């Protein structure tokens, strides 16, 4: 059987480039999306030569609406594409009060809006075909406001929730959805946010991160957290969340809110 083509955003370096390498060596043709055309061309030449697969490049800035629409169109119309790796993302240095509203807007556009729109562009086709996979790169920061990355963490919490919701909607229609939640990983995201990578403890290497994520992919996991030693902790977290649902349907405020003081 012909293996599905994989479209990867943020593919010019780091996690995206490593996903491209791994899927190419699994025999998948690729569509690589990023802003840096020269890097994309270099990666495409290497992977097509090493793995003998077809590699298309699509230069796009996903915060630019015209570029984003071009990628959406490719996802919707190219029936060879059966896997979307929603990887493109960025971070911001400083605290919320230090960050400009324009920078915050661009971060949300890239980390959240583009992820949702690209998933939406392909979901209808995948559901009608009864197959396909959407992999969204989230972050453990979305589970930990204590880490202090307020807007970045909020966008990643959105990505995780989006993935869980998509799984409920699309899973019964044959579409696989995975959210990958890395912790600190050795990529260029740190330098671009103005942070010294040498001051960050416990960095996971990109190869290790992607290889672990692909183990989760092959197992059909919805949530993959490569650095978490005890998956039971995630399951306990989920059970605690679900236990609250019975209280969400009450017609009156809880007793603790019906008294003053």
Catalytic positions: 152
The tokens describing 104, both together, are: 């915050």
For 154-220, list the strands marked E by DSSP: 176-180
Three-state SS annotation for 71-104: HHHHHHHCCCEEEEEECCCCCCCCCCCCCCHHHH
Among residues 170, 188, 129, which one has the least CA distance to residue 4?
129
- Alpha helices (runs of H) in 172-225, residue ranges in sequence order: 189-192, 206-219
Among residues 114, 119, 89, which one has the least CA distance to residue 16?
89
Q: How far is residue 46's CA from residue 180's CA, in Å, rounded to a whole number? A: 26
CA 187, chain centre distance (Å): 15
Q: How far is residue 104's CA from residue 90's CA, in Å, rounded to a whole number? A: 11
User: The dihedral of CA 152, 158, 161, 164: what is its sign?
Assistant: negative
Among residues 159, 162, 57, which one has the least CA distance to residue 108?
159
The tokens describing 91, both together, are: 């971070």
């Amino acid at each position: 059987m012909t293996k599905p083509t994989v479209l990867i955003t943020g593919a010019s370096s780091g996690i995206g480039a490593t996903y491209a390498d791994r899927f190419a060596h699994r025999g998948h043709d690729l569509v690589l999306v990023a802003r840096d055309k020269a890097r994309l061309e270099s990666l495409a030449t290497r992977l097509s030569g090493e793995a003998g697969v077809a590699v298309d490049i699509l230069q796009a800035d996903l915060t630019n609406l015209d570029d984003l629409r071009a990628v959406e169109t490719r996802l919707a119309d190219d029936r060879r594409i059966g896997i979307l790796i929603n990887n493109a993302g960025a971070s911001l240095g400083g605290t919320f009060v230090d960050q400009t509203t324009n920078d915050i807007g661009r971060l949300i556009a890239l980390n959240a809006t583009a992820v949702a729109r690209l998933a939406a562009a392909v979901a209808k086709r995948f559901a009608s075909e009864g197959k396909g996979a959407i992999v969204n790169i989230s972050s453990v920061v979305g589970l930990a406001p204590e880490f202090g990355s307020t807007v970045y963490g909020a966008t990643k919490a959105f990505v995780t929730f989006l993935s869980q919701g998509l799984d409920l909607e699309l899973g019964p229609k044959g579409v696989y959805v995975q959210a990958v939640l890395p912790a600190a990983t050795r990529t260029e995201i740190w330098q671009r946010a103005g942070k010294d990578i040498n001051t960050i403890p416990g960095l996971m290497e990109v190869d290790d991160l992607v290889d672990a994520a692909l183990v989760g992919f092959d197992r059909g996991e919805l949530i993959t957290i490569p650095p978490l030693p005890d998956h039971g902790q995630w399951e306990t977290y989920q059970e605690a969340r679900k236990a609250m649902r019975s209280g969400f349907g009450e017609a009156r405020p809880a007793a603790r809110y019906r008294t003053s003081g």
